[in-house]
């Protein structure tokens, strides 16, 4: 089965390319493809936070 995109046309498998996802932890960028099973589980359970600009501004003073 082919994946469907917004315009509802299928993407042929031979025209797709691999997307490498990087994760940033403590300043280091690491491709997630190199993760072992434990790190993959940890990555899935990770929560992302969005700070308001007010909180960011108050921290930089």
Look at residue 54 and tell me whether its pLDDT is greater than 60.
yes
Task: Tell me the C-alpha to C-alpha distance, in Å, between residue 33 and each of 21, 22, 37, 40, 43.
Answer: 7, 8, 11, 9, 11
The model's pTM is 0.44
Strands (E), 2-60: 22-25, 28-31
Give pLDDT, residue 34: 86
Dihedral sign computed on CA atoms, order 9, 11, 12, 15: positive
Q: How far apart are the first and last CA of the chain?
A: 54
Tokens of 3: 């994946």
Q: What is the residue extent of each domain of the chain?
A: 20-46
More confident residue, 45 or 57: 45
């Amino acid at each position: 089965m082919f994946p469907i995109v917004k315009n509802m046309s299928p993407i042929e498998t031979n025209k797709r390319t691999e997307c490498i996802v990087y994760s940033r932890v403590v300043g280091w960028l690491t491709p997630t493809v190199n993760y072992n099973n434990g790190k993959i589980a940890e990555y899935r359970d990770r929560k992302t936070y969005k700070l308001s600009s007010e909180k960011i501004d108050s921290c930089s003073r």
